[in-house]
């Protein structure tokens, strides 16, 4: 596929540009039943609205049922890694079972074409670069080969034929440099001369930190793979979209716990600008909330904690301006569960929506409780009043105090009365202003006062 910088990038389809959340759909609704079952209610689905998008409905009947309800569907794929068959099963705890062995062979095009892997300068196939994947049988695939592009296109077309609305690509942060052509294993589609005319800063991770997977040619080949797949999905409709996990989080290994642990990087890496030319939406994974075990080398505690600072997450929410103006979005994916503090959940939700991110509310009792309201479109940009950050929406105003001290402010409000989503209490609006007081490190949602729902306590 030839790259032409003179062709203007596409605008995002309106349904994604205006989406508010990816959320849960009650099982009874998926089964075609009217109303919620008692089991659904007990699971926390009471009051949850149908989302803009939902994960993983793979069969055609479920996809059509959801689309009739106005819910779009997303399917998962990785363009970076594939398994290779492990050794034949043996009576050893580290080898796959016979059934797993057969399944891996069926699932991976590397089983018959190992030459499509990425090779280092010594001719060794490169293992998965993601620190949370330790299997020696998960191998990086070379996006700069015709075979990989063809195999992935076949997989994407199979998804699109099922009727899905979006393809979600995991691990969109580049691949290791490949020496496969130099050592005679395979041929590459792109070479250094193909980079002429493309600014190098558009091919590097921002802010340009050195890393094994920040090679301009490899990044260009990956961008051309995104371009090809975006073209493929658009063949199935102009409203079909490509979403990518654009998060890069470094890990470190804890010898004590024998696991990899997330840690706060000094510099946050953002994907090359050229990737945004073909993506409709990105994702910020591990957004603000993670289990303590993810960030502590001395703990396996599953309790959810906040990590990094509010300014760190503002940087993560950054999209190049020209693409933001064309409607590009980000999904905020917090790792929160039943043992999450309510204040932490409110803080994460408000911070995400202040930056116009799509909320990922998978758990109906935790992150999914924010799928009980529709704020509508934002009215203006994020603003600051004293220590408080705020943003107005069609049906409410959000406020965030990211400091360690209580803060107060007078916020604009277009309604005679608002309702606090956390407490359910009505609050008066005085001459178009809403006086608010927020505790330290707190987020609040103030809705148009007409019978707004309240958050579920624990």
Enumerate the domain spans of the chain: 14-79+147-372, 378-458
Taking the C-alpha atoms of residue 73 and residue 52, their distance in angstroms, rounded to an integer, is 9
pLDDT reported for residue 129: 66
CATH 2.60.40.1180: does it fit domain 378-458?
yes
Taking the C-alpha atoms of residue 43 and residue 118, their distance in angstroms, rounded to an integer, is 45
Radius of gyration of the chain (CA): 23
For the ranges 207-216, 248-257, 410-419, the lowest mean pLDDT is seen at 207-216
Taking the C-alpha atoms of residue 100 and residue 85, their distance in angstroms, rounded to an integer, is 9
- CA-nearest of 229, 209, 316, 220 to 280 is 229
- CA-nearest of 276, 266, 168 to 222 is 276
- List CB contacts of 367: < 8 A, sequence separation 6 or more: 334, 336, 345, 348, 349, 359, 360, 361
Asked if residue 346 lies in contact with residue 445, where contact means CB atoms within 8 angstroms, the answer is yes
φ, ψ of residue 373 to 5 degrees: the values are: -140, 150
CA dihedral 37, 40, 42, 46 (to 10 degrees): -100
Taking the C-alpha atoms of residue 240 and residue 243, their distance in angstroms, rounded to an integer, is 10
pLDDT band of residue 75 (cuts 50, 70, 90) is very high
Residue keyed to tokens 């979005």: 329
- In order, the DSSP letters of 268-316 are --B--HHHHTT-SEEEEET-SEEEHHHH-TT-----EEE-S-HHHHHHH
Pairing mode, strands 378-385 and 388-393: antiparallel
Chain-centre distance of CA 49, in angstroms?
21
DSSP structural state of residue 135: -
Taking the C-alpha atoms of residue 452 and residue 431, their distance in angstroms, rounded to an integer, is 21
Q: What is the helix (H) or strand (E) element at residue 75, kind and residue range?
A: strand 72-78
The answer, yes or no, to whether residue 251 has pLDDT greater than 70, is yes
Question: Higher pLDDT residue, 134 or 247?
Answer: 247
Asked if residue 452 lies in contact with residue 421, where contact means CB atoms within 8 angstroms, the answer is yes
Asked if residue 274 lies in contact with residue 220, where contact means CB atoms within 8 angstroms, the answer is yes
pLDDT reported for residue 225: 96
pLDDT reported for residue 456: 46
pLDDT reported for residue 94: 46
Q: What is the helix (H) or strand (E) element at residue 360, kind and residue range?
A: strand 358-360
The tokens for 86 are: 């492990």
220-235 confidence digits (pLDDT tens): 999 999 999 999 999 9
Residue keyed to tokens 């994020």: 382
| Helix, strand or coil, per DSSP, at residue 141 | strand
- List CB contacts of 279: < 8 A, sequence separation 6 or more: 172, 226, 230, 242, 243, 244, 246, 328
| Helix, strand or coil, per DSSP, at residue 160 | helix
pLDDT band of residue 340 (cuts 50, 70, 90) is confident
Q: 14-79+147-372 has which CATH code?
A: 3.20.20
Bridge partners (DSSP) of residue 170 are 78
Pairing mode, strands 259-262 and 251-254: antiparallel
Burial of 157 (0-12, 13-18, 19+ CB in 10 A): middle
pLDDT reported for residue 34: 80
pLDDT reported for residue 451: 46
Asked if residue 297 lies in contact with residue 303, where contact means CB atoms within 8 angstroms, the answer is no
How many C-beta atoms lie closer than 10 Å to residue 276's C-beta? 25
145-172 confidence digits (pLDDT tens): 999 999 999 999 999 999 999 999 998 8
For the ranges 137-151, 172-186, 291-305, 403-417, the lowest mean pLDDT is seen at 291-305
Helices (H) and strands (E) in the chain, counts: 12, 22
Taking the C-alpha atoms of residue 291 and residue 303, their distance in angstroms, rounded to an integer, is 5
Which percentage of the chain shows pLDDT scores above 70? 89
- CA-nearest of 386, 74, 399 to 245 is 74
- CA-nearest of 407, 404, 397 to 452 is 397
């Amino acid at each position: 596929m030839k790259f032409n910088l003179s062709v203007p990038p596409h605008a995002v389809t309106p349904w994604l540009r205006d989406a508010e959340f990816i959320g849960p759909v009650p099982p009874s609704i998926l089964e075609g039943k009217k109303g919620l079952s008692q089991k659904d209610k007990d699971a926390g689905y009471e009051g949850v609205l149908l989302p803009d998008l939902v994960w993983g409905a793979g069969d055609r009947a479920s996809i059509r049922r959801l689309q009739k309800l106005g819910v779009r569907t997303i399917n998962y794929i990785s363009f970076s890694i594939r398994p290779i068959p492990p050794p034949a099963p043996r009576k050893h705890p580290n080898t796959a079972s016979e059934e797993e062995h057969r399944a891996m062979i069926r699932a991976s095009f590397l089983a018959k074409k190992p030459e499509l892997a990425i090779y280092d300068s010594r001719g060794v196939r490169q293992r998965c670069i993601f620190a949370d994947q330790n299997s020696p049988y998960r191998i990086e695939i070379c996006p700069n080969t015709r075979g990989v592009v063809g195999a992935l296109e076949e997989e994407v077309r199979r998804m699109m034929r099922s009727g899905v609305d979006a393809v979600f690509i995991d691990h969109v942060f580049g691949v290791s440099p490949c020496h496969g052509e130099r050592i005679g294993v395979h041929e590459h589609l792109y070479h250094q001369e193909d980079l002429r005319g493309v600014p190098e800063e558009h091919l590097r991770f921002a802010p340009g930190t050195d890393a094994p997977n920040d090679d301009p040619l490899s990044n260009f080949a990956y961008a051309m793979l995104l371009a090809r797949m975006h073209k493929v999905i658009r063949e199935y409709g102009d409203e079909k979209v490509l979403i990518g996990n654009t998060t890069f989080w470094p890990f470190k290994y804890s010898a004590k716990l024998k696991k990899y642990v997330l840690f706060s990087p000094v510099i946050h890496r953002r994907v090359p600008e050229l990737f945004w030319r073909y993506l409709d939406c990105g994702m910020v994974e591990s957004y603000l909330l993670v289990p303590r075990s993810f960030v502590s080398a001395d703990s396996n505690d599953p309790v959810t904690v906040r990590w990094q600072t509010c300014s760190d997450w503002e940087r993560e929410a950054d999209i190049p301006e020209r693409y933001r103006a064309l409607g590009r979005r980000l999904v905020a994916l917090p790792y929160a569960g039943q043992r999450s503090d309510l204040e932490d959940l409110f803080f994460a939700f408000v911070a995400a929506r202040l930056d116009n991110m799509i909320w990922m509310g998978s758990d109906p009792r935790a992150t999914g409780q924010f799928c009980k309201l529709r704020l509508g479109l934002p009215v203006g940009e994020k603003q600051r009043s004293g220590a408080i950050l705020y943003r107005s929406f069609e049906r409410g105003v959000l406020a965030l105090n990211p400091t360690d001290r209580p803060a107060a402010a007078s916020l604009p409000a277009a309604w005679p009365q608002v309702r606090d989503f956390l407490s359910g209490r009505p609050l008066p609006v005085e001459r178009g202003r809403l006086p608010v007081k927020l505790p330290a490190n707190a987020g609040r949602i103030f809705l148009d006062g007409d019978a707004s729902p309240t958050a579920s306590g624990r």
